[in-house]
Amino acid sequence: MDASKYLEIRPAPRAIFDALPARRDLTRFVVGDRAITFGEVAREIEDVALFLAHDGHRPTDRGAIFAQNRVEWMSAALAIQSAGGTMVPVYPSSTTEQVAYVLGHSDARVVFVAGEELVRSVLRALPSLPALARIVLLDDRDESIPGDVREKVITWSAARARGRAIANADPSALARMLDAISLDSPAIMLYTSGTSGPPKGVPLTHRNVGVNGRDWLEVLGPLVDEGMTDLLWLPMSHVFGFGEACIGNTLGWTSYLADPASVVARLPEVKPSAFMSVPVVWEKLAQAAMHSDDPAERKRRFDAATGGNLRFCLSGGAGLKREVKELFLEMGALLIEGYGLTEASPTLTMNRPDAFRFDSVGKPFPNVELRLADDGEILAKGESIFAGYHKDPAATREAFTEDGWLKTGDVGVFTEDGFLRIVDRKKDILVTSGGKNVPPANIEQRFADDPLFQHVVVYGDGKKYLVAGVWLNPLAVEPGLDGAALHALVESRIAAVNAQLARYESIKRFVILEPALSVASGHLTPTLKVKRKAVYATFGAQLDALYERSTR
């Protein structure tokens, strides 16, 4: 694809409206048996944007979205931005406490919400949210809304009807609002996962995300094209999923919506030409082809699992095993991997069709400068880098070096030919009493494919050796297995991993722990990453006891 015509930086809603004359009747989304055109999406955005503007929503006000993926999610997001506001996504897995924190900290004036349980979470949080003036129900169901808050609540259809009346009376109203948007005003405010404390609001301007999108198209243009078909299952509440939806808006893709439970089964049905995912799905697809040594049979299995039409594959969110990327290349599909973080809008580096190494996360984007600090931390500069955290000057000062480089918190090394490799999170590195630096995630990742384990968390900062807390998958434990046999089974699995590690990296002792780690307990982030410090705080005594046993 010639990316040159898409390199102008512009607010995200313009991707829909600027191309509307050519795409009005083309299918943008497919949900079940229903096809939704670009024209229908544009009309939704216009209706809701005008409703917001005439409902008291001012430019730079924050509007939140708390729902599972649906067409209305994207329409609401772009409507908030079209009205000059800042869109704040809330993970649908969030607890009431987490919802209250994000909506309160962001001072959200409106929240779009769908699903009975999610609506209940908002209602429970409402007394602590004085700035929240409006609740919009995306699924049009208001039966459970108590009378004392009904004046704050409106259904999606009713909001659209109000906005449509305004559009009919003033057909140029939306165009004036779009023209008034400054590229340097906040477009989206994402909340970090909070692995090291309360979530932090990351405001990204239209320029930040526009520059990153331009780099993305410039680098990956040879692999993508207009009119592709993708299977969109990544949460739009995450920058990866929202970014995929925005690229689809820009390039005129047809996106079939799926959820995590159905995505693998939907691939052979949809036969997408573009697919983006976190590593767990790529690994499942690779396993489908790895059960045969015959190349022709491997290819047949691979095509059956993926739909046989993949041309663009992008992995993100976590590191992907090299053998998976090699398998995809053998099957004729280059699986691209990059690296970034929310504060960078989000991508900093990317492998690309004419320059890739599977032992790396690629080379810097055109707008990005990278360097390594003395301790190996990756530092970044560029127009896609955010300016600072929302209402948190102390965290902002901590996020940057004195000369203005973003501190990523990740440790990396450059190869001799300029590719970046990630070692680990800087703050998660364990230093043993013998002076050995050990990135625990590199060890824990080796258990990711073993169905016996839900989580393995390595422990041992300042200790002579490493131990681990183990949380088992009850569905993978044979019924009736007694404690001694279960301990022996876990011990054998850990021994197999230890055989792949340096001696100082090996797990010397372990303890099987309960209850399971969860978002509700505060041990997992909404994106299901382990909050290491929270785990250590809760289970530290049991982990420390492993060292006491060895001295008796």
Q: What is the pLDDT of residues 338-373, one digit of tens each?
A: 999 999 999 999 999 999 999 999 999 999 999 999
Q: Looking at the structure, tell me whether residues 400 and 435 fall in a common domain.
A: no
Q: Are 99 and 120 in contact (CB under 8 A)?
A: no
Answer whether residue 223 is part of any domain: yes
Answer whether residue 202 is part of any domain: no
Q: Which residues of 428-459 are buried (b: 16+ CB within 10 A; e: fewer)?
A: bbbebeeeeebbbbbbbbbbeeeebbebbbbb
Q: Across the beta sheet with 110-113, what order do the strands follow?
A: 153-155, 134-137, 110-113, 62-66, 86-90, 186-191, 201-205
- pTM metric for this prediction: 0.83
Question: Left (φ > 0), alpha (ψ -120 to 50) or beta: where does 194 sit?
Answer: left
Q: Looking at the structure, tell me whether residues 263 and 407 fall in a common domain.
A: yes
Q: Looking at the structure, tell me whether residues 470 and 326 fall in a common domain.
A: no
- One-letter-per-residue 3-state SS of 141-208: CCCCCCHHHHHHEEEHHHHHHHHHHHHHHCCCHHHHHHHCCCCCCEEEEEECCCCCCCCCEEEEEHHH
Q: What is the pLDDT of residues 44-55, one digit of tens each?
A: 999 999 999 999
Q: What is the pLDDT of residues 501-552, one digit of tens each?
A: 878 889 999 999 999 999 999 999 887 889 998 999 999 999 999 998 654 4
Task: Output phi, psi for 414, to 5 deg.
Answer: -100, 140
CATH of the domain at 219: 3.40.50.12780
More confident residue, 175 or 322: 175
Q: What is the pLDDT of residues 53-102, one digit of tens each?
A: 999 999 989 999 999 999 999 999 999 999 999 999 999 988 888 899 99
For residues 451 and 111, give the distance between their C-alpha atoms in angstroms, rounded to a whole number.
38
CATH of the domain at 487: 3.30.300.30
Answer whether residue 1 is part of any domain: no
Q: Which residues pair with 372 in a beta bridge?
A: 378
Q: Looking at the structure, tell me whether residues 477 and 547 fall in a common domain.
A: yes
Answer whether residue 196 is part of any domain: no
Q: What is the pLDDT of residues 381-429, one digit of tens each?
A: 999 999 999 999 999 999 999 999 999 988 999 999 999 998 876 777 7
CB neighbourhood size of 50 (10 A): 26
Q: Which residues pair with 377 in a beta bridge?
A: 411
End-to-end CA distance of the chain: 67
Domain boundary among the residues 386, 406, 425 is at 425
Work out the percent of the chain whose per-residue pLDDT is above 90. Answer: 78
Q: Looking at the structure, tell me whether residues 301 and 386 fall in a common domain.
A: yes
Lowest mean pLDDT among 8-17, 47-56, 363-372, 439-448: 439-448
Q: Looking at the structure, tell me whether residues 159 and 289 fall in a common domain.
A: no
Domain boundary among the residues 392, 425, 458 is at 425
Q: What range defines the domain where residue 497 resides?
A: 429-551
For residues 44 and 20, give the distance between their C-alpha atoms in angstroms, rounded to a whole number.
13
Domain boundary among the residues 181, 198, 226 is at 181
Q: Looking at the structure, tell me whether residues 284 and 325 fall in a common domain.
A: yes
Q: In whole numbers, what is the pLDDT of the chain averaged over residues? A: 93
Q: Which burial class, exposed, middle or buried, applies to 504 when counting CB atoms under 10 A from its CB (0-12, 13-18, 19+)?
A: middle
Answer whether residue 8 is part of any domain: no
CB neighbourhood size of 391 (10 A): 12
Residues 6+ apart with CB under 8 A from 175: none
Q: Are 313 and 275 in contact (CB under 8 A)?
A: yes
Closest by alpha carbon to 136, among 161, 160, 116, 112? 112
Answer whether residue 190 is part of any domain: no
Q: Looking at the structure, tell me whether residues 243 and 339 fall in a common domain.
A: yes
CATH of the domain at 66: 3.40.50.980
Closest by alpha carbon to 367, among 388, 390, 340? 340
Q: Looking at the structure, tell me whether residues 310 and 359 fall in a common domain.
A: yes
Element holding 134 (H helix, E strand) = strand 134-137
Answer whether residue 195 is part of any domain: no
Answer whether residue 201 is part of any domain: no
Q: Looking at the structure, tell me whether residues 235 and 362 fall in a common domain.
A: yes
* Per-residue pLDDT band at 435 (split at 50, 70, 90): low
What residue has token string 């079939």?
256
For residues 160 and 154, give the distance between their C-alpha atoms in angstroms, rounded to a whole number.
10
Q: How many domains does the chain have?
A: 3
Q: Looking at the structure, tell me whether residues 335 and 471 fall in a common domain.
A: no
**Per-residue pLDDT averaged across 174-186, rounded?**
98
Q: Looking at the structure, tell me whether residues 271 and 401 fall in a common domain.
A: yes
Structure tokens at 224: 């993508």
